[in-house]
């Protein structure tokens, strides 16, 4: 009895002690789950950088609307729906292909990756870095869209569907791997750059614009000029676009989107990257302005008129030209680069006409030639301070014209030559294969009466176009 009474007396304090211990354990567990101040700061930094990539990627994606308006305005009204369809399909096909294989070839990080090509992360199966994937997809879609302008008004839509798949899924991702992946053979992010800081292309004058521009040049050469573009001897006949208003709108949308394209390539805002992004935005602005002003001046001097088409492409050439060096050059150099890019663009127009290669919207002069100039300008004008701020590995090898020696310029030359060689060879194989199989070009009748009706069964301007009363319609 005494033992039982003693146990009963002990039961209450033991229960209270157990309850206190359980409460303490619960409080301790809750405290363990509560993030520390350091963890909260790290989470905020990650969220801010991801938001920056999503906003910047959205601006780059909006450039698809700019390309659509630009090319739509620079072609004739009978081909408007056709060129708009191509811009829309680029965004769709580019997304699927970059998800399925393009990202894996560009940034795949498995043991199979090497200096030439990435491998892994196909179908984005590692489910990591969604914000980065979205940002890179917008770039891939832009590269494919550039090509459309060179081939406008005479290319079969079926041929377009084939080549946009290959460019988005293979040709472009390989160049991305070379230049931007840590394993890429010429990448500035490689632990052991091949020369100076490696090939520097901060936002893609070469990786994006040269790929699209030089692929377009190859396609235009194999496709041939539009009917009536060139006459006997050196005669060049102007074929004006149908709507300079929407072309101008397209230019401004592209300019706006470039503030995602270039500043967004900091890939972050924290850790001082916001200061670099701001500098990049200033350099981007100055180069575009200089390109436009230069276009106005030389169009007046060389053609005795102020040509709005040249002004549009002058601004765009300035933007393309500064894209590679926007983080590494000083503002004064951005003005010089933009102005020269505009002149390079005009020289490329004259060269294409001399060899009778027809580029209806000036895609190669703006993106191919302007992009090449932008890549080389990095090796000429990059400052030691700029290379240091952008965290490149060897800022002592800065721009040739600023006294930094030849090595960085040599790296830019080699990188540009490699990109051109890769794109020209692969694009030639691609377009030639299409030409000898399903064919590249529509018939002369289709070209004369418009691709909108034959390829898509509609008229972009039904009140004024071929489907109007008493005028030609398919089947009549």
What residue segments make up the domains of the chain, in order of their start? 48-441
Decide: 440 and 222 in contact? Cβ < 8 Å: yes
Decide: 189 and 124 in contact? Cβ < 8 Å: no
Residue 462 banded pLDDT, cuts 50, 70, 90? confident
Token couple for 401? 């014209």
What is d(CA 340, CA 318) in angstroms, rounded to the nearest whole number?
8
Give residue-wise pLDDT tens across range 399-423: 999 999 999 999 999 999 999 999 9
Q: What is the pLDDT of residue 121?
A: 86
Q: What is the pLDDT of residue 17?
A: 46
- Placement of tokens 């127009």 in the chain: 349
Give residue-wise pLDDT tens across range 107-156: 987 777 789 999 888 998 877 789 999 999 999 999 989 999 999 999 99
Give residue-wise pLDDT tens across range 37-51: 888 888 999 999 999
Decide: 395 and 329 in contact? Cβ < 8 Å: no
Give residue-wise pLDDT tens across range 266-275: 999 999 999 9
Torsion of CA 415, 420, 88, 267, to 10 degrees: 0
Q: What is the pLDDT of residue 461?
A: 86
Q: Name the nearest CA neighbour of 360 among 76, 68, 166.
A: 76
Q: What is the pLDDT of residue 467?
A: 58
Torsion of CA 224, 230, 233, 235, to 10 degrees: -150
Q: Does 397 score more than 90 pLDDT? A: yes
What is d(CA 374, CA 390) in angstroms, rounded to the nearest whole number?
17
pTM of the entire predicted model: 0.90
Give the rounded distance of the alpha carbon of 275 from its chain centre. Answer: 23
Let me know if domain 48-441 sits in CATH 1.10.357.10. Answer: no
């Amino acid at each position: 009895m005494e033992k039982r009474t003693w146990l009963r007396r002990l039961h209450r304090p033991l229960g209270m002690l157990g309850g206190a211990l359980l409460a303490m354990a619960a409080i301790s567990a809750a405290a363990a789950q509560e993030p520390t101040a350091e963890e909260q700061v790290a989470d905020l930094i990650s969220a801010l950088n991801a938001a920056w990539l999503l906003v910047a990627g959205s601006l780059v994606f909006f450039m698809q609307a700019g390309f659509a308006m630009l090319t739509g305005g620079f072609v004739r009204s009978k081909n408007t729906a056709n060129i708009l369809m191509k811009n829309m399909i680029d965004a769709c096909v580019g997304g699927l292909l970059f998800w399925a294989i393009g990202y894996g070839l560009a940034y795949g990080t498995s043991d199979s990756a090497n200096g030439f090509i990435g491998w892994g992360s196909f179908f984005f199966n590692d489910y990591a870095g969604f914000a980065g994937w979205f940002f890179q997809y917008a770039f891939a879609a832009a590269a494919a869209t550039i090509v459309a302008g060179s081939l406008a008004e005479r290319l079969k839509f079926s041929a377009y569907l084939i080549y946009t798949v290959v460019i988005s899924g293979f040709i472009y991702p390989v160049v991305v791997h070379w230049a931007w992946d840590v394993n890429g053979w010429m990448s500035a992010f490689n632990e052991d750059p091949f020369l100076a800081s490696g090939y520097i292309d901060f936002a893609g004058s070469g990786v994006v614009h040269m790929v699209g521009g030089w692929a377009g040049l190859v396609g235009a050469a194999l496709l041939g000029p539009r009917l009536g573009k060139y006459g006997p001897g050196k005669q060049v006949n102007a074929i004006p676009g149908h709507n300079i208003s929407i072309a101008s709108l397209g230019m401004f949308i592209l300019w706006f989107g470039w503030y995602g394209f270039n500043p967004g390539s900091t890939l972050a805002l924290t850790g001082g990257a916001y200061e670099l992004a701001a500098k990049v935005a200033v350099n981007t602005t100055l180069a575009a302005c200089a390109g436009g002003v230069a276009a106005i001046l030389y169009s007046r001097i060389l053609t005795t008129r102020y040509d709005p088409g040249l002004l549009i492409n002058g601004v765009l050439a300035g933007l393309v030209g500064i894209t590679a060096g926007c983080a590494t050059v000083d503002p004064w150099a951005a003005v010089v680069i933009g102005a020269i890019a505009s002149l390079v663009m005009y020289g490329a127009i004259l060269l294409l006409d001399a060899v009778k290669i027809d580029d209806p919207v000036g895609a190669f002069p703006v993106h191919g030639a302007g992009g090449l100039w932008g890549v080389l300008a990095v090796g000429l004008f990059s400052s030691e301070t700029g290379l240091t701020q952008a965290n490149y590995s060897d800022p002592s090898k800065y721009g040739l014209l600023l006294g930094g020696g030849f090595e960085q310029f040599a790296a830019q030359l080699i990188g540009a030559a490699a990109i051109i060689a890769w794109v020209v060879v692969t694009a030639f194989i691609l377009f030639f294969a299409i030409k000898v199989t399903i064919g590249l070009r529509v018939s002369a009748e289709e070209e004369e009466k418009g691709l909108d009706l034959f390829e898509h069964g509609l008229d972009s301007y039904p009140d004024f176009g071929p489907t109007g009363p008493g005028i030609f319609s398919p089947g009549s």
